[in-house]
Structure 1
Amino acid sequence: QYGHAGFDQRYSTEDIFRGADFSSIFGDLGGAGGIFEQLFGGAFDLFGGRSGGGGRGADLEYELELSFEEAARGLTKTVHIPRREMCSDCRGQGGERTECGTCRGTGQIRQSAGFMVIARTCHKCGGQGSALKKACAHCRGEGRVEVERKIEVTIPAGIEDGMRLRLSGEGEGGTRARGNLYVLVRVADHPLFRREGPHLILDYPVNFAQAALGIEVEIPSLNGRVSMKIPAGTQSGTVLRVRGKGLADVHDGRMGDLLVRVLVETPTNLTSRQRHVLEEFTKTFGDNAHPKHQSFVEQFSRWMKGR
Structure 2
Amino acid sequence: MAKRDYYEVLGVDKTVSEKDLKSAYRKLALQYHPDRNPGDHAAEDKFKEAAEAFAVLGDKDKRAAYDRFGHAGVGGAGGPQFDPSTFADFGDLFGGIGDVFGFGDIFGGGGRKRGGPRRGADLRYDLEISFEEAARGHEMQLQIPREETCETCKGSGAAAGTSPEQCGQCGGSGQLRYQQGFFTVARPCGSCRGTGRVIASPCGSCRGAGRVTRERKLTVRIPAGVATGQRMRLSGEGEHGTGGGPHGDLYVVFHVADHPYFHREGDDLHCEVPVQFTTLALGGTINVPTLDGPHALDIPEGTQPGTSLRVRGKGLPNVSGRGHGDLHVIVGVQVPKKPSRELREALEALRTVLPADTGDAASHDRSGEDKPFFERVKDMFG
Percent sequence identity is: 43
1:280 is displaced (CA, Å) by: 3.3
Q: Tell me whether 1:208 sits opposite 2:277 in the alignment.
A: yes
Q: Hey, what does 1:18 align to over in structure 2?
A: none
Q: Distance in 1 between matches of 2:342 and 2:246?
A: 81
Answer with 173-182 or 43-52: which moved more: 43-52
Deviation digits for residues 26-47 of structure 1 (CA, Å, limit 9, x no counterpart)? xxxxx71216983993224347
Amino acid at match of 1:33: F
Q: Hey, what does 1:240 align to over in structure 2?
A: 309
Alpha-carbon contact 1:135-1:141 (below 8 Å) kept = yes
Q: Distance in 2 between matches of 1:114 and 1:297?
A: 86
TM-score (norm 2): 0.64
1:296 is displaced (CA, Å) by: 1.4
Q: Hey, what does 2:224 align to over in structure 1?
A: 157
Q: Hey, what does 2:262 align to over in structure 1?
A: 193
Q: Tell me whether 1:101 sits opposite 2:168 in the alignment.
A: yes
Once superposed, what is the RMSD of the aligned Cα atoms?
3.3
Query: Aligned pairs, how many?
Result: 279
Deviation digits for residues 127-172 of structure 1 (CA, Å, limit 9, x no counterpart)? 3211121111111222111112122323222101222222122111
Q: Hey, what does 1:135 align to over in structure 2?
A: 202
Answer with 278-287 or 111-120: which moved more: 111-120
Q: Distance in 2 between matches of 1:254 and 1:145?
A: 45
Q: Tell me whether 1:59 sits opposite 2:128 in the alignment.
A: no
The 1:215–1:100 alpha-carbon spacing in structure 2 relative to 1, beyond 3 Å, is same
Q: Distance in 1 between matches of 2:305 and 2:261?
A: 18
1:289 is displaced (CA, Å) by: 9.2
Q: Hey, what does 2:11 align to over in structure 1?
A: none
The 1:281–1:292 alpha-carbon spacing in structure 2 relative to 1, beyond 3 Å, is farther
Instruction: Look up the SS of the partner of 2:372 in the other structure.
Output: helix
Q: Distance in 2 between matches of 1:247 and 1:302?
A: 43
Higher relative contact order (CA 8 A, sep 6+): 1
Q: Distance in 2 between matches of 1:232 and 1:289?
A: 18
Q: Find the partner of 1:284 among 347, 353, 360.
A: 353
1:239 is displaced (CA, Å) by: 0.7
Q: Find the partner of 2:318 among 246, 249, 262.
A: 249
Question: Which has the larger strand fraction?
Answer: 1
Deviation digits for residues 99-132 of structure 1 (CA, Å, limit 9, x no counterpart)? 3221122322233467775544323313321112
Q: Distance in 2 between matches of 1:85 and 1:77?
A: 23
Q: Hey, what does 2:375 align to over in structure 1?
A: 298
TM-score (norm 1): 0.78
1:248 is displaced (CA, Å) by: 1.5
Q: Distance in 2 between matches of 1:172 and 1:119?
A: 28
Q: Hey, what does 1:50 align to over in structure 2?
A: 111
Q: Identify unmatched segments of 5+ residues in structure 1.
A: 1-11, 16-30
Deviation digits for residues 64-86 of structure 1 (CA, Å, limit 9, x no counterpart)? 22222221122333212111101
Alpha-carbon contact 1:43-1:121 (below 8 Å) kept = no
The 1:40–1:276 alpha-carbon spacing in structure 2 relative to 1, beyond 3 Å, is same
Instruction: Look up the SS of the partner of 1:232 in the other structure.
Output: coil
Amino acid at match of 2:309: L
Q: Hey, what does 1:19 align to over in structure 2?
A: none
